[in-house]
Structure 1
């Protein structure tokens, strides 16, 4: 793969769609929080490393990691352009139906699929830099683009 190769937009969008649908609800259950409570993180507060010595601490530790992952997803959504952040948040986090999103954002019914595909591809573009911002280990990083 060359640096100049472009990702396949339809396959990348499908990959990101599966990622968001599969991970968001799972992470929210693991974190024990509501999706609507998740916001982009505030990077002015440094993260705290926690030790893991028993089951309760392990559950807390996993919950904190799940919250961090949800914040990373929300952060990435906010880094996309134009209507994309609103489409991604309303569809994947708030679970609004397509007709309500179309009405609220003044989107033509036929344009939603195209705008959603664009938003998902933008998410994939931004995801790599988000993983760097959150300083995740290499084994935890995931490339969502399909070439």
Structure 2
């Protein structure tokens, strides 16, 4: 797993690697929907876990709202940041492959990636609030550990 010197970038990277696939699974969709004009208004409930129907519907609905916030956040980013996020986390390209697509150096892609991750983290908070996510369920990717 990638390790960034910046903790906000690390938090955001971990969100895309660990949490986003879980949200997509609960919503019953694939990561491509975040890059398309997909409407989350009719989620598919697909769970093999033995949960009550109410719990499953709540999870699907919560995941759908969170995915809307992710999509809105990506849509609000500048073109370069959005492309870097798309290439890295949805197309699963490596730095050198992204550099080729963007016609720039690998070093510049690394800089863009850190900037994009940090930008996503700050914008994501606002989008979650805008989409009506309860304060206690907001993913604050900007929080860093306090050094004692």
For this structure pair, what is the TM-score category when the shorter chain's length is used for normalisation?
A: 0.7 to 0.9
SS at match of 1:128: helix
Are 2:60 and 1:63 aligned? Answer: yes
Change in 2 beyond 3 A, CA 1:119/1:91: same
Which gives a bigger RCO, structure 1 or 2 (Cα 8 Å, sep 6+)?
Answer: 1
The residue number in structure 1 matching 2:16 is 20
Aligned residues: 130
Please, which of 8, 21, 25 is the counterpart of residue 29 of structure 1? 25
Contact 1:40 1:75 in 2 (8 A): no
Are 2:73 and 1:72 aligned? Answer: no
Structure 2 unaligned residues grouped into runs of 5+: 42-50
Deviations 1:28-74 (A, max 9, x none): 1222211112347799x9xxxxxxxx934542442232122122112
TM-score if structure 2 supplies the norm length? 0.74
Contact 1:35 1:93 in 2 (8 A): yes
Q: Over aligned residue pairs, what C-alpha RMSD do you find?
A: 2.6
The 1-side partners of 2:97 and 2:56 are apart by 37
Contact 1:39 1:71 in 2 (8 A): no
Structure 1 unaligned residues grouped into runs of 5+: 1-8, 46-53
